Structure 1
Amino acid sequence: MAKKMVKAKGRVSGSTGRFGPRYGRFIRKRVRDIEQVAKAIHTCPRCDTVSVKRIGTGIWECRKCSFKFAGGAYTPATPNLKVALRTLERAVKEA
């Protein structure tokens, strides 16, 4: 008889393991997800290479072309920026 696959038991804490049992599971999970996005390497809007890293809150820099720009606190492109860029594209297309 085949064994059933069972999920790993215990904490899947990641970067929030430093908090231990404090603050509750949902808060720790939210912090972990935000930190994963903030610490990831993103695509540069100027040279299109995957080399943008977060320097500080809302400050991003491409390590290839040294392009420094302001973005969101945890992501280089905020949802509002995407809406604004779409609006600009439509305006340029109509003109």
Structure 2
Amino acid sequence: MGKTKKVSITGRYGARYGSVNRKRTREVLDRMKPKSLGCPKCRTKGSVHRISIGIWYCRKCDAKFTGGAYSIATARGLESFRVSKRKQREIELIEEEE
């Protein structure tokens, strides 16, 4: 007998909904697995859970923060964080010079 394909968490759908939809669902659900998510405040893995779309909650440190719909941070959000951090450093340097 041949080997079966790995269907992961989407095996519960069986042959329904089409292969492309099941693959997309599998990718989203794999990104949302609690063990892979770490809290940006306390850095604890597995304690972050999604409350609603884009709102995340850490059970350990009680931190509530925003992010992407299916992941804690988006590429655009990380870019914005880097820019704001750089601007803050520039402002601090200007204040020190004065």
Normalised TM-score (structure 2): 0.75
Which runs of no fewer than 5 residues in structure 1 stay unpaired?
1-7
C-alpha RMSD of matched pairs (Å): 1.8
Greater helix content? 2
Please give the alpha-carbon distance, in whole angstroms, between the structure 2 residues aligned to 1:92 and 1:46. 19
For 2:81, the aligned partner's letter is L
| Residues 1:20 and 2:14 aligned together | yes
Given residue 43 of structure 2, which amino acid in structure 1 is its aligned partner?
D
Aligned partners of 1:39 and 1:54 also within 8 Å: no
- For these two proteins, the number of residue pairs brought into alignment is 88
Question: Is the partner of 1:54 in helix, strand or coil?
Answer: strand
Residues 31-46 of structure 1 correspond to what in structure 2 (within 5 A)? 31-41=25-35, 42-46=37-41
Quick one: distance in 2 between partners of 1:75 and 1:48? 15
Q: Distance in 2 between matches of 1:30 and 1:21?
A: 15
Asked if 2 retains the 8 angstrom alpha-carbon contact of 1:54 and 1:61, the reply is yes
Matched, 1:47 2:47: no
Partners of 1:15 and 1:32 within 8 A in 2: yes
Is 2:61 the counterpart of 1:65? Answer: yes
Identity of aligned residues (%): 44
Separation (CA, whole Å) in 2 of partners of 1:10 and 1:47:
40
1:78 aligns with 2:74: yes
Runs (5+) with no aligned partner, structure 2: 92-98
Aligned to 2:87: 91
